[in-house]
Amino acid sequence: MEIIAKALLFLHVSFGFTSLVLFWLPVFIKKGGKGHRTIGKLYVIAMWIVVGTAALLSVKNIIIGKYFMAVFLGFISLITANPLWYGMAILQPKVQDSVRFHWMRTAFDGVIALAGVLMLTYGIVLQGKNSAVLLIIFGCLGLTGIPSFFRNLKGPREKEDRIRLHMTGLLTSGIAAYTAFFVFGGYMWMEKIFPGMLGVIPWVAPGVVGAIGITLGVKYYRKRGLIKPQV
């Protein structure tokens, strides 16, 4: 068991670091070019390994009684898998007309919303003490999946812009990856820079910065005519 856990951790950390580096290359190189597609695929592969190992490590933490770590790591892997999946799936021809795509998207939103409710409840039970405040913050983040879930239940949406969804999905997966890094990998030195309650700052900063970046990116490519304006 211990050997397996160490192997999973090694894969998680190795491919996690690789994905953090690869993330930036498709952002700045020519969109749609061979380099963009090749590096983008490598990033996606690395991220799926990170997500898979995170899920398995979450199960391991449940077994050994580290419930807080298990819940948080499991939730991060979930909110990473969702945009990573639809960000690539949307590029496939006629995927938006696929019933399978629609219901998988609905299922992801439903599971994330449910996980958000459970995390929020757990954080409140712990009275938001110390790191438990993160459960409340990310629990509220999970609740944002509720409107999308109920909207999907009404049936397939009108066709959305594939480029916008692709860009939003992959950038969101990067936000989740950097959030996980600051929460777990960079915890020790981040704690020295941001002591006490200030430690929450680097954990929510990727989300804030990423949301601004996505908004500006969508506006930029919309002006260039690569993204259709929303009606």
**Structural domain includes residue 99:** yes
| Res. 197: pLDDT tops 80 | no
Whether 134 and 183 have beta carbons less than 8 Å apart is answered as: yes
| Res. 120: pLDDT tops 90 | no
**Structural domain includes residue 214:** yes
pLDDT digits (tens, 9 = 90+) for 6-22: 898 899 989 998 999 99
**Structural domain includes residue 229:** no
Q: What is the mean pLDDT of residues 57-61?
A: 90
Query: Taken in order 9, 208, 169, 145, is the CA torsion positive or negative?
Result: positive
Look at residue 192 in the predicted model and tell me its pLDDT.
62
Whether 126 and 135 have beta carbons less than 8 Å apart is answered as: yes
Query: Taken in order 80, 37, 96, 224, is the CA torsion positive or negative?
Result: positive
In angstroms, rounded to a whole number, what is the distance separating the alpha carbons of residues 204 and 219?
23
Look at residue 48 in the predicted model and tell me its pLDDT.
96
In the chain, the number of structural domains is: 1
**Structural domain includes residue 143:** yes
Q: Give pTM, 2 decimals.
A: 0.83
pLDDT digits (tens, 9 = 90+) for 142-190: 888 888 888 877 766 667 778 888 888 999 898 888 887 877 666 556 6
More confident residue, 105 or 195: 105
The residue length of the chain stands at 231
**Structural domain includes residue 207:** yes
**Structural domain includes residue 7:** yes
Q: What is the mean pLDDT of residues 63-90?
A: 88
Look at residue 178 in the predicted model and tell me its pLDDT.
85
**Structural domain includes residue 199:** yes
Q: Taking the CB of residue 82, how many other CB atoms lie within 10 A of it?
A: 23
In angstroms, rounded to a whole number, what is the distance separating the alpha carbons of residues 122 and 116?
10
pLDDT band at 207 (very low <50, low <70, confident <90, very high): confident
The single-letter code of the amino acid at 119 is M
**Structural domain includes residue 231:** no
Look at residue 190 in the predicted model and tell me its pLDDT.
62
31: left (phi over 0), alpha (psi -120 to 50) or beta: beta
| Res. 101: pLDDT tops 80 | yes
Look at residue 231 in the predicted model and tell me its pLDDT.
42
Look at residue 11 in the predicted model and tell me its pLDDT.
92
Q: Taking the CB of residue 88, how many other CB atoms lie within 10 A of it?
A: 18
Q: What is the mean pLDDT of residues 126-144?
A: 77
In angstroms, rounded to a whole number, what is the distance separating the alpha carbons of residues 41 and 159?
24
**Residue range of the domain that includes 6:** 2-223
Indicate the DSSP class of residue 156. P
Residue 160 has which token pair? 């959305």
Mean pLDDT, all residues of the chain: 82
Percent of the chain with pLDDT over 90: 21
